[in-house]
Structure 1
Amino acid sequence: MTTKSTRTASKSKAAARKARSGSAKTNPTAAESVAASASINTASGKSVAVVGGGIAGLTAAIKLLKAGFDVTVFEQKDRLGGNTSSTLVDGVEHDVYPHMFCDWYDNFWDLFENDLGLDRSAHFEPRAGVKMLAEGATEYQTLLNPTSLDAIFKNLKSGSLPPAEMFLTGYSMVDLAGHPFDREGNAQLERQSVNGFLYSSSTTTEEVAELENYMLEVIWSASSERTSAATYQDFIRHTLSFPDGAPFAHMLKNSLNDGLIAPIVNLITSLGGAIKTSTEVTAVRLLNDKPKVSWRAAGSNSRGSTGTFDQVIIAVPGAPLTDLVMGGASNLAGDRLIDREPSLSQVRRLTSVPIPVIDLYLKRKLPGFPPENIGLTKAKYGLSVVDIAQLWPAAQFGGKTALVIAASDGESLPGHDFADQSWYMLQELIKFYPDIDIGREWGDPNCDVDWAKTHARSNADYALFLNEVGGWDWRPEAAYPVTLPNIAFAGDLCRSNVDMATVEGAVESGVIAAEAVQRFDAAANNGKVRGQPIKLVKHLTYGNSALRAAKIALMPFAYAAKAWTLVGPRSPDAQPGLQNLGNVLQAEHLGLLPLQYINDWWTTAYWFWQSTLTGNQGGATTGPANHDDDDFIDLGAALLMVAGEFASYASEQCSGQPRPSSASRQGEPLGAGANMVRQAGKIASGFFQDRALSDDDDISPRKRRWRVKR
């Protein structure tokens, strides 16, 4: 990384050390230095090495420590957290990525609220939706989480697409969510991309496909033609929570370091765990079915140390995982993991990509800048932006704006020098915000930018895993009990119920790996389980019957909307006449729609009855379409919930007094039955706590106040 804000590395590190030593707040680095000096017990009969200090490895460590294991965490970098970490530069915390924490992240919220003992509402702010801004526009468009009828109707009128195509966008997600992947066991035929799935649909348009692709690129840095449709189905099934009124996401009110990683470090050390940062694990071997671990100081060529543990969890990204399974130096004792489990050779195929990020601190406050995450429509490099000054503690910003700018399509940035690439990002930003003066070059003192606090990073060392087509076959299992006893794997690249690369996927993989370790330990102790059984928190999602019934119910409207896109005007200001001739002449499409509708209806009806009569609500038992770790809302409950929402919405429209939209579960321990009753038109609203957004949540379009620099 060669930007001006990062070139003085030694000065930045000195400032960071000074800031840490003089800080009164809890600091993970201080906790790490204490933990790193703790002795490592490798002969206790319950010793576990966790290789990798990202959120997956840390989750596994906490679960195992609470169950009574002796745990040592090894992390190559000087700070824990991985892709959920922060970097301290000249006394300012800079998150690796601006993460969004969805309402359905049940295992993450279990970690945060139950293990760490922290209150969600005190540390996170719910966001009802996101904003979109087109180049040259003066108003933002708002897209809300479609978890209520009111939000759905607002989205249809948002202006992001014509209403017919906004409806088709939502319908395409319902269609994908209930699609019967792996229905015939044809692994090759099931390897569809999201774009391929949309192309095979009779109701998709080019604009719908572009919007789906844009959402995938902004959130996961993966285009729709590369993203696995079965994997994206997993994500959609978890997000489809209509009609519970859940927010789009929760945003941490502090840096990842202070708000998340520091409490985790404190908990691990208080439970007696050892943490060794700036430590590289160079090899993991199996000797007499016992894991043998070699490690040394990061960046060192020394021989280092070696220890035998009872179990090992490997929770590192793809490149270091490949190095570890290949075994390290050839003269080490024990079997290489690849020799015991040859399928692990496939991990080298897994792909990841970094997202370049700039924290742009300004010398002034931008008037009228919304607090939501903002997508810059059709911007180069897939730019998105959020103002953390409206989220983190206000004292850190002095009333001024601080924008986090992420380039989800960082691969399209020109050149190889990140100093130049970061300047390209700022130049693209001011096309949408021309009132921001970035100066003539990076570091120009005569502009709006506070360069002393601004920090750009390529994130080459923090790449995000991509869920590509066919990638499921290459991803490691959590454990291989027969071939690799006492070895487990974690990280969002591992196979799990939450297939898409998310914080929840990483946390869930940590829980699954900890479960595997507990099973290995029980097998070595005559079946006696150490501590309380470690279990996943199951997600509550719609089952196949409910999803396919929803598709059948919406199908007539979807085909009508598709017909309208073929013959109707392409924009509100389009004039009738010859300019629409190109769409009218697509008579083959329009003429085929009735036949396509009939075929689609009968096919969906068949799979609906198949899932209803067989009780198969979760899809395949293996492969990326496996949903076995979910609890399902059955068809009857779904009908009651939807009917209640329609009744409630009709009542609101008649009374003229709309209810507040919901924001969060606030940790309510609600089961499926309670959710069903509460969501069904708020039948039991007097008994169950309502999830209300703050009255201050403004979801109306915002106008920007322009101030052109001269």
Structure 2
Amino acid sequence: MTTSLVIGGGIGGLTAAHELAECGVDVTVLEANDRFGGKARSMPIDDGPAPLHGEHGFRFFPAFYRHVVETMARIPDGNGTVADNLVETEATLLASTTGPDRVAETRTPDSVRGWLEALRPAFSDELPARDVHFLLERLAYLLTSCERRREEELDDVSWWEFADAENRSPAFRNRLASTTQSLVALRPQVASARTMGTIYLQLLFGQLDPSRPTERILNAPTNEAWIDPWLDHLEGLGVDLRPNTAARSISFDGRRIDGVELTDGTAMTADEYVLAVPVDVAPAFVTPELARAAPELRRIERLETAWMNGIQFYLSVDLELSPGHQVYTDSPWALTSISQRQFWTDYDLEERGPDDVAGVLSVIASDWTTPGVLYDKPARECTREEIAAEIWAQLRAHLHAAEPQLTDDVLVDWFLDPAIVETDGGVENRSPLLINTVGSLRNRPPADVGVENLTIAGDYVRTNADLASMESANEAGRRAANAICRRHGIRSSARVWALEEPVVFEPFKREDRFRYRLGLPHPAEVTQSLRSVTARLGGRS
């Protein structure tokens, strides 16, 4: 029987283990932490018999997440599957400190009026008509561009430049910055037009697709709703799961991997090795010899990370806010949240933690470099206590109209992601998030890097979504498993989906393939502002 050693027990590693085990491979998974699941895991906040759970951040499943949801549908949980623990949201609250709050419907529209209402947040009356028209032209540019143009041209320009943001209205720039940053940590000033435009379109298409929910979240903390049943299922498939087992290095004989050394000095061997550690950890495993054999691995260190971490506030009231996300449009730390109890239908909050906890507000901060409103310091320079107080203050400023009121006396406790660790000058983040930047596609390795018994499974692998997410990690794990199965003549069943776009644009993409081969610009190139075109042409001379 073929043996495989998976280094890293996050979503990518567990997915690879799942697919390989179903194909009859003998799999062992090594995880450095005491809990599997990577950034997706939840954790008890104390050692009590029925503790509350904290998380790195709340889980979010938009409509274009297909790989991870399909895996969840294959994990038994009670009389159903883990996929049954996904709950559709209904609306997103866009809370502001300077104007009226707005509510954006997230349910799939069932009428023309519903579609118009769904599109209103993306193309609202607040934007000048010329800006809306220009944004539509930019989206049409993307939808009619061939894949090579997207990868070789549009990946080398930022979404900010592509959308001509500097020459647009302040309202347009604010909308461009807030549309995706808070949910997927994409900053338009540095993210490529290829990736950010594609994800923007996928979120928009998801709103209009009647065959799938626009977005879903879990009905309990991540481990209870997903990770723990998954681990049970993997063990049932014969997977050997080893928590608190950290690898130090991998040994390469010039042709293949011949072993893994653990931090305790012991060694392990297998026929196949899957490197599924985080992007900030992976370069430590790439020796000069391995980099020469697989140059794609050397480029991993060029990928950039940012901070996107969560905090849970445990409240003595059930603050529902909206049946979905809350986006705090004026928050300097780019906050989003979910009031969890309305969705945690299988999680008995009354039996967890302090008796007076009646609600959980789970918040994610996506900007750690902008000064806050309370201490006038960025989150990176604050203590953990200051971070909690600052986020609480930003929430209160936005939720002044909430019922019941978000006052200090309703706050029972809080739990900040333990990856945020205090230092002499503030905090450090031991679990940073990979971010998309201009030109970063070429630095993302394939799952199969050309070393005959090594594959890569992490959210930094080149995938269809090109996005640091559970979806990309799951797709990477599938690609790694498929590569191993091909090598050993094992029939693989791990399906990989491309992102879907309306077929009506296919004839235009075919035409653009011809134009691109001839070195001709896209027909929509001329719709950019004169300043933007001049700058780009000047850079090419």
The TM-score range, normalised by the shorter chain, is: 0.7 to 0.9
5 Å-filtered alignment, 1:299-314, equals 302=264, 304-314=265-275
Percent identity for Structure 1 against Structure 2: 19
CA displacement 1:419-458 (0-9 Å, x = unmatched): 22222111111111343222xxxxxxxx22112x644545
Change (3 A) 1:216 1:390: same
Q: Counting strand residues as a fraction of each chain, which structure ranks higher? A: 2
- In structure 2, the CA distance between the partners of 1:52 and 1:125, relative to structure 1 (3 Å rule), is same
Where does 1:692-703 land on structure 2 (aligned, <5 Å)?
A: none
Secondary structure at 1:357's aligned position in 2?
Answer: strand
Conservation of the 8 A alpha-carbon contact between 2:109 and 2:118: no
Cα deviation, 1:169-195, whole Å, max 9, x if unaligned, reads 872673254142665699467501111
Q: CA deviation at 1:164?
A: 5.7
User: In 2, Cα distance between the equivalents of 1:247 and 1:169?
Assistant: 29
The reply to whether residue 610 of structure 1 matches residue 492 of structure 2 is: no
Partner residue of 2:139?
174
Once the two structures are superposed, what CA deviation does each residue of 1:630-682 show, in whole Å capped at 9, x if it has no partner?
xxxxxxxxxxxxxxxxxxxxxxxxxxxxxxxxxxxxxxxxxxxxxxxxxxxxx
Residue 704 of structure 1 corresponds to none
- Which residue identity does 1:178 align to in structure 2? L
Is 1:535 the counterpart of 2:436? The answer is no
Which runs of structure 2 are paired with 1:228-307 in the superposition (5 Å)? 228-236=192-200, 238-239=202-203, 240-241=205-206, 242-244=208-210, 246-287=212-253, 289-297=255-263, 302=264, 304-307=265-268
**What are the Cα deviations for residues 228-251 of structure 1, in whole angstroms up to 9, with x where unaligned?**
111224434544254526433111
Q: Assess if the C-alpha contact under 8 Å between 2:92 and 2:323 holds in 1.
A: no
Aligned equivalents of 2:295, 2:246: Cα separation in 1: 24
- Who is 2:432 aligned against? 463
- 1:150 partnered with 2:113: yes
Between the aligned partners of 2:134 and 2:338, the Cα distance in structure 1 is: 25
Instruction: Label 1:121 to 1:314 Cα distance change in 2 as closer, same or farther (>3 A).
Output: closer
CA distance in 1, matches of 2:492, 2:417: 44
How do residues 635-674 of structure 1 correspond to structure 2 at under 5 angstroms? none
Partner of 1:316: 277
Shift of 1:379: 1.2
Of residues 101, 105, 122, the one that matches 2:65 is: 105
Please tell me whether the aligned partners of residues 53 and 74 of structure 1 are also in contact (alpha carbons under 8 angstroms).
Answer: yes
Q: State which of 286, 290, 293 in structure 2 corresponds to 1:337.
A: 290
Superposition pairs of residues 397-476 of structure 1, within 5 angstroms: 397=350, 400-412=358-370, 413-414=378-379, 415-434=381-400, 435-438=405-408, 447-451=409-413, 454-455=415-416, 457=418, 459=420, 460-476=429-445
What secondary structure does 2:194 align onto?
helix
Matches within 5 A, 1:1-40: none
Aligned positions, number:
480
The question of 1:390 aligning with 2:351 is answered no
Check conservation: 1:136, 1:431, Cα contact below 8 A.
Answer: no
The aligned residue for residue 190 of structure 2 is 226
Alignment pair present for 1:133 and 2:95: yes
Partner of 1:520: 487
Secondary structure of the corresponding residue to residue 163 of structure 2: helix
What is the CA distance between 1:273 and its match in structure 2? 1.0
- Tell me the equivalent position of 1:354: 307
| 8 Å Cα contact 1:84/1:96 also seen in 2 | yes
Is residue 330 of structure 2 the alignment partner of residue 378 of structure 1? yes
Distance (whole Å) between structure 2 residues aligned to residue 466 and residue 59 of structure 1: 22
Q: 1:210 deviation in Å?
A: 2.2
Q: Residues 200, 608 of structure 1: CA spacing in aligned structure 2 closer, same or farther, 3 A cutoff?
A: farther
Higher relative contact order (CA 8 A, sep 6+): 2
Q: Which digits, 9 at most, give the CA deviation of each residue in 1:193-241, with x for residues without a partner?
A: 1111101899x64423321211232022231011111122443454425
Q: How big is each residue's C-alpha offset from its partner over 1:474-527, in whole Å with a ceiling of 9 and x where there is no partner?
A: 11111133xx11110111111011212222111111000000111222xxxxxx
1:486 aligns with 2:453: yes
Query: Is residue 76–residue 82 contact of structure 2 (8 Å, CA) maintained in 1?
Result: no
Change (3 A) 1:490 1:142: same
Structure 2 Cα separation of the partners of residues 288 and 145 of structure 1: 54
Give how far 1:136 is off.
5.8
Alignment partners' CA distance in 2, 1:185 and 1:247: 28
- CA distance in 1 between counterparts of 2:505 and 2:311 reads 40
Distance 1:243 1:103, change over 3 A: closer
> Given that residues 156 and 439 in structure 2 are in contact (C-alpha distance below 8 angstroms), is that contact kept between their aligned partners in structure 1?
yes
Q: After superposition, give the CA deviation of every residue in 1:356-385 in whole Å (9 maximum; x if it has no partner).
A: 32210112234x622310001111100112
Following superposition of structure 1 onto structure 2, how do residues 668-707 of structure 1 map, counting pairs within 5 Å? none
Q: Which amino acid aligns with 1:216?
A: T
> Map of 1:75-90 to 2, 5 A cutoff?
75-90=31-46
Q: Output the CA distance in 1 between the equivalents of 2:103 and 2:154.
A: 39
The corresponding residue for 1:571 is none
Indicate if the aligned counterparts of 1:281 and 1:293 stay in contact, CA closer than 8 A: no
Q: Which residue of 1 aligns with 2:536?
A: none
Residue identity matched to 1:191:
D
The runs of 5 or more residues in structure 2 that have no matched partner are 351-355, 371-377, 421-428, 518-541
Task: Single out whichever of 128-137 and 190-199 deviates more from structure 2.
Answer: 128-137
Quick check: 1:217 aligned with 2:169?
no
Q: Residue 404 of structure 1: CA displacement?
A: 0.9
**Local SS of the residue matching 1:542:** coil
Kept in 1: contact 2:13–2:274 (CA 8 A): yes
Contact kept, 8 Å, 2:307 with 2:433, in 1: the verdict is yes
Equivalents in 2 of 1:402, 1:189: separation in Å? 41
Of stretches 179-188 and 412-421 in structure 1, the one that deviates more from structure 2 is: 179-188
Change (3 A) 1:233 1:136: closer
Instruction: Report the 3-state secondary structure (helix = DSSP H, G, I; strand = E; otherwise coil) of the residue aligned with 2:348.
Output: helix
CA contact (8 A) 1:238 1:539 kept: no
Structure 2 counterpart of 1:253, which letter?
A: N
Confirm or deny: 8 A CA contact 2:276 2:457 kept in the other structure. yes
Query: Could you list the per-position Cα deviations for residues 102-161 of structure 1 after superposition, in whole angstroms to 9, with x for gaps in the alignment?
Result: 223221122111354744673111114422111165644225478663333114556965
Amino acid at match of 2:457: A
Contact 2:279–2:458 (CA under 8 A) maintained in structure 1: no
Structure 1 residue 53 corresponds to structure 2 residue 9: yes
How far apart, in 2, do the equivalents of 1:193 and 1:289 lie? 39
Bigger CA radius of gyration: 1
- Which residue in 1 is equivalent to 2:375? none
Give the 3-state SS of the residue equivalent to 1:71 in structure 2: strand
Of 20, 24, 28, the match for 1:72? 28
Amino acid at match of 2:446: E
Shift of 1:406: 1.3
**Residue type of the partner of 2:293?**
R
Provide TM-score, normalisation by structure 2. 0.80
Give TM-score scaled by structure 1 length.
0.62
